[in-house]
Amino acid sequence: MGGGGECERVRLFVGQVPRSMAAEQILAVLRGAARVDEAAVIRDRATGASRGCCFVVCPSREEADKAIAAYHNKCTLPGASRAMQVKYADGELERIVTKQKLFVGMLPRSVQEHEVSALFSQYGNIRELKLLRSPQKTSKAACAILEFESKDHARAAIEALNGRRVLFIVTFHSGETSLPVRFVTIGIRAISGRRATTGCNGDGRNGVGSHRSTNKEGRKYDLKIGGYNFSQCCRPPQASP
């Protein structure tokens, strides 16, 4: 799926900068490897002197990653005693990732990672996918946290899949479920295997979901996935009564 959506401006911290270096000079260095829009030298409030570091702004995460890869611990500026430090400003990476990360609930417990990936990858490139299952064998549901390369891809997946009925055809049986798909929230970011035992709704409530262990004859599904059976129906999902 193509990119072409809005770009997320990203702020980087740059350390080990000579105190005599101006913002324009820092930009000239970093622009040797990446697009950088602006730079602001961090100064002492009392004296106005440079503190030997600055913040810079890149037009996208891709450009920020280029700058980090090219200069972090790899280049020592004239007059500096150590290699440049180029990294995401505090809280910046978390802010970006949250807008690209989705929570997917009510998955059949036996679903496999490649099945979830096949369902969501049609909306964009997936950076990371993690399946979460309760250690309690009686729980029939699983959930997943996945990160797309851009928030536009994440939005497209939500618009296409949130609330849709999906038939997962997994080993030995099939399971129907109506998927909740939404952006990860601060509470979900901290999810662990232990927290997952309280349920896979993503909101702290217990729940098994609406999946069935057998296929209901004549039932129409928005999507089928698993094994070699992957198809998409045109009929939109019906609203819950």
Half-sphere exposure of 97 (CA within 13 A, CB side): 14
Q: In whole angstroms, give the CA distance from residue 133 to residue 128.
A: 17
- In this predicted structure, what is the pLDDT of residue 7? 59
- In this predicted structure, what is the pLDDT of residue 184? 79
- In this predicted structure, what is the pLDDT of residue 233? 24
Q: In whole angstroms, give the CA distance from residue 211 to residue 147.
A: 24
String of b and e for 63-90 (b: at least 16 CB within 10 Å)? bbebbbebbbeebebeebeeebbbbbbe
Residue 198: count of CB within 10 angstroms of its CB: 13
- For each of the domains in the chain, give its residue range(s) and CATH number, in order of start: 10-95 (3.30.70.330), 99-232 (3.30.70.330)
Which residues, given as ranges, of the chain have pLDDT below 50? Answer: 1-5, 170-173, 186-241
